Structure 1
């Protein structure tokens, strides 16, 4: 028996990186999967990979910052699969800046994608969860929602909000058999962070310096996050809610 058999999951930011890895891992474990993202060609590619496994997949275009698109994504998922009982809030964006250097427009963009997006998607999810007698939300936060870092003011603020949104929703909806948990990764090898380290000598030194802050000596991989997401979506974690779990190679153990 696969660990997510009978479950239907909607994953935001599912076309690349961590979202793609989670979608593939969920499909491997037997879940039907809706893959939501802004670029249709990317989510179609992931859906095609899943279809090859003999698992049903639905590619969706969805801007998580727009309430009507969140509602539409859940309506389409429920129409195809009959229900939705897992949401993975993975879509995210990054800004390397301080409060002094970031523009108001860029601040609003980071907060909208990283914090407003999980709010809107979770609100839409609850409508479907209630029809199924419960459900599970897995938020992909960040270790920077637990501790701070230089030049990440907006990102820290947004991910800190996700951490406490997770806890608040877990308390508010536990009586409805809804569990909410948050994965807080350190730096993970994705397109989102690839631009931080170019192939120059300076870029290589910067990468080595960042790796040196991680006790296990390497950046995370999308699969590292995906395996924890499978656990949090499965019945194996049925007594776990309201938690923000560092997945950081030991970074916050100091």
Structure 2
């Protein structure tokens, strides 16, 4: 997957372009996990219900028309959701309510990578379907659902695992490169591992895989606070809308 017009180098002062790159990166991640969907100039949408935790539509511009967005999705079955990437839509008249708000974030390309001594775990890239199943089980608190399918093991997507000395996955994250940015998502810890371990280890692994690129994503609440401690800065708000049939 590529980001097309965002493939050139983006400077850390191009806030608006970084925001659009973060949005596009996340939309392509959603498309990959969902196994399809369609892109237009204004949005990515899926005509069939997407996997749990993933939206049925992601806006790519502030001007994305609600009517066209909703027409491209299945709003008739339970669970339809929209990632309003610029917090610009009003979907309440169509039976949606805001599930939560979050903030797009960005870590500059020239930010120093965490020192190796800052991480207590051994960080590696998931190499095959078996390792991916183990990563997902750790991410899911002991259970795997097949949400992250082996088709995601591509050169531009990396599942990062922080392992203890006995080989257990105690922290992890997913990273995907699109054009000139790397998206970081699904950062997690297990068995009491500190959140800072996951962020430091994942960022160090990303810097090794794709050196010199800014890292983007979105977070909210305590996870946003942790990301900001690790060198991220806010880019702008987003909202997740959930359809609530009457």
Normalising by the residue count of structure 1, what TM-score does the alignment of the two structures yield?
0.29
Q: Which structure ranks higher in relative contact order (CA pairs < 8 Å, sequence separation ≥ 6)?
A: 2
Kindly indicate which of the two structures has a greater share of residues assigned to strand: 2
Kindly indicate which of the two structures has a greater share of residues assigned to helix: 1
